[in-house]
Structure 1
Amino acid sequence: MAQGRKLHPSVNKFKEFVAENPHLIRDVRNGDTTWQQLYEEWYLLGEEDPRWDKNSGVKKEEVEDDSSKKDWMGQLAELAKKVEPGQIQSHLYNLSQALGAIQGLIGQFQQQPSQQAPPSEPIPQHPFPFRKD
């Protein structure tokens, strides 16, 4: 930055704010946000907004992670209650049959090109005959 150029007073206040909140520097370095985004949010929300509390974001993420884990585990338990062992075995058998058919098809396609290819003529080692003087 040029020495003779003065910054806008709001930019200087933002720099002071960032100095008081070093977790914002870490967020930018980690690629979670940009300086432009932070400045715009700071300018619109002000310094007293709960968004700037370094612990508030972590707590929200932890709560969301815990609730999503409980939801997922609950859904899995409900699904396990509804499924009958006979159905599972039937579905696995059908899947095995389908995979076998697909493997057989792939095997046929791999064999056909080598069987149908006409015998190729030998390629000369030197396509252009040059004579040495």
Structure 2
Amino acid sequence: MENNELHPSVQKFKQFVKKYPEMANTVRNNENTWQELYEDWYLLGEEDPKWNVFQDVGEAKKESTKSGSEEKGWVNHITGILKNMDTNQVQHHISNLSEAIGAIQGVLLQFQGDNAKNTEEKPAERQHPFAFRKD
């Protein structure tokens, strides 16, 4: 049976369904039947607020695909940067950073060494950090 042989109201309903493709998903998920949707459409008309549910879901999916494409763009940007990166330069910068961290650790150890000597001179205070007195 071709489109030309369908009843005019059925043809109009098919055009209406094309505006709201989410309707097909509700039928696939067994939430509605085509018969129910057709009867509601025929009785309520195209302007009924019931159809806004299908429109809102379609718009939400558009937004989610838009945000998904933005995430893909970010990932593509990062991978582009990584592809253009010179590994020898990265290795050189990492070794320089490692040397700088080592130097900082050495300086900190010197200061900690001075503090360790000061704490060894006062072992009584170290053992009893709180002074308890009787009133």
TM-score calculated relative to the size of structure 1: 0.44
More helix by share: 2
State the structure with bigger RCO (CA 8 A, min sep 6), 1 or 2. 2
TM-score (norm 2): 0.43
